[in-house]
Amino acid sequence: MTHEGTTIPKSANTLPIVAFARDVYWNLGRSELVEWSIKRGEGHLSAQGALVARTGEFTGRSPKDKFTVRDDVTEAKVDWGAVNRPMSPEHYEALETLMLTSARDQSLFVQDLRAGADDGLAINVRVVTQFAWHNMFAQNMFIRPSAEERETIEPDWTVIDLPNVQADPAIHGTNSKTFIVVNFTKRTVLIGGTEYAGEIKKSIFGVLNFLLPETGDLPMHCSANVGPAGDVALFFGLSGTGKTTLSADPERALIGDDEHGWGPEGVFNFEGGCYAKAINLTAKAEPEIYAASNQFGALLENVILDPVTGDPVFTDVSLTENTRCSYPIDFIPGHVKSGRGGNPRAVIMLTADAYGVLPPLAKLSTDQAMYHFLSGYTAKVAGTERGLGNEPQATFSTCFGAPFMPRHPSEYAQLLREKVEETGAECWLVNTGWTGGKFGIGSRIPLEATRAMIRAILSGGFKDIGFNRDRYFGLMVPEACPSVSADLLTPSTTWSQLSEYEATAENLAQRFADNFAQFAKHVPASVAESGIRPRV
């Protein structure tokens, strides 16, 4: 039964699962979805009015359960392997049948949304969910068409998200009961066996990462903002490097915090919301994100509430370190309403080097930009993920988003090179990690120092400052930076024992070289030669 009072598009009858469901709620608003979530026991409100939900067994993505249907559309274009696991069309059909029959007698929630703020490159996405709060998540994260647009909208892609549906590996060709399956021929995504809402947005990110290179446009796992003069900056970086924090600058307007495209007219957001990490969130360190997370319409995942006051306890990681908050981007003051900006002036690649040896700031040549884009380095430490010991763990995630890149990484790196050369964008490496020693000995580079470096990059503050080549990593490091201690810019001087620094630097350089060996034959020789290599 389709309920009245909701915006029902004319294309509603093209969704087969509707015929099986008991009730279907189309395009409900924020308040209605919150009410349904509470009524159905899916969540409750914080003292500030945010909806709080838990994701059950899975508090993050399930990369080993993600599949792409291998057929004529994908066979020659997908980089098959551990990241992009193939599924046969026959197994997909069996899963789709299971999803349809499992919807019988269920209540479903449907949102008609859009991914991509560039009208020429956007896709319409219909999201069908078992949980009302998952529907709210989708509404927060994607771009919301007007009620009039929704009446005639035709979906390009359909996501069906039924957490209670569990696969049988023997029948469906999966690794476990959990599955996230993308079918480029049928233009559908099936999600089951997990209550983690982030799978919805990341599956569509993967779709756009496959589609955009077809037209010579670059999909990017990055945040973006723009200054008063129209100067756009991109921030690439893995989780924990500061991608969201540094782009939420009160002096600049936020284009988006996670997923963007670089098209003929410049940068555009894929999303209509933000999905920020909530661990240790404070009003002092991240005032805009904190305020956005503490109001009605925000959605807190796995955040513990104080049992007396109902206030979020952002320091409590008893459920997971990966606590999250999603909210519409218009919760951030001064955001860019169009979701678009011009070509970037600065491309900033963030890393959090827990070994304490990389320079906090370096300017990159185009070859070096390709090298570090393909490397996608950071170092995880205890407290960011379960199971990590006391030693830093080097992590290389190509294009700063390997799990979401269906094509070979070299395709994205070549597109980056072309865009940088066409526009003259400057490329930088900014290390937000440790100084004075590795994790456990040194200290985290102060956020204010990193902000000062970013301000200098964006204001042209290095125009009259010289650069020196770092002897350990071959990076061009500025001799000075306004409002930053000169010693901080040269990591070796911050260690108590130079010999320990050298040994640690050599070790990290070898890790870079070993990782990049897989890309060497796919890129110009000048890229590999420009990269980090152990000293002979």
Residue where the block lists tokens 């446009």? 217
Look at strands 426-431 and 344-351 and give their pairing. parallel
d(CA 137, CA 285): 25
User: Which one, of 163, 155, 132, lies nearest residue 51 by Cα?
Assistant: 132
Note if 243 is an active site residue.
yes
d(CA 231, CA 224): 11
Which of 114, 150, 252, 324 is catalytic? The answer is: 324
Which residues are 80's β-sheet partners?
Answer: 84
**DSSP assignment string, 81-124:** TTTBEEE-HHHHHHHHHHHHHHTTT-EEEEEEEEE-SSTTT-EE
> To 10 degrees, the CA torsion angle through 348, 352, 358, 360?
50
- Whether the Cβ atoms of residue 527 and residue 517 lie closer than 8 Å to each other: no
Note if 258 is an active site residue.
yes
Contacts of 536 (CB under 8 A, 6+ apart): none
Note if 105 is an active site residue.
no
Contacts of 411 (CB under 8 A, 6+ apart): 213
- Whether the Cβ atoms of residue 187 and residue 216 lie closer than 8 Å to each other: no
Which of 7, 37, 46, 61 is catalytic? The answer is: 61
Which of 66, 91, 172, 243 is catalytic? The answer is: 243
Question: Could you write out the three-class secondary structure of 33-45?
Answer: HHHHHHHCCCEEE
- Whether the Cβ atoms of residue 395 and residue 238 lie closer than 8 Å to each other: yes
Which of 244, 432, 494, 530 is catalytic? The answer is: 244
Note if 455 is an active site residue.
no
- Whether the Cβ atoms of residue 312 and residue 276 lie closer than 8 Å to each other: no
Note if 202 is an active site residue.
yes
> To 10 degrees, the CA torsion angle through 146, 152, 158, 162?
70
Which of 114, 172, 202, 417 is catalytic? The answer is: 202
Note if 61 is an active site residue.
yes
Q: How far is residue 100 CA from its own chain's centroid?
A: 30
Instruction: Give SS3 for 410.
Output: helix
Which of 112, 257, 258, 353 is catalytic? The answer is: 258
Residue where the block lists tokens 């479903």? 108
Which DSSP helix (H) or strand (E) runs through 160? strand 157-162
User: Which residue type, as a one-letter code, is found at position 179?
Assistant: F
- Which of the residues are catalytic? 61, 202, 221, 239, 243-244, 258, 324
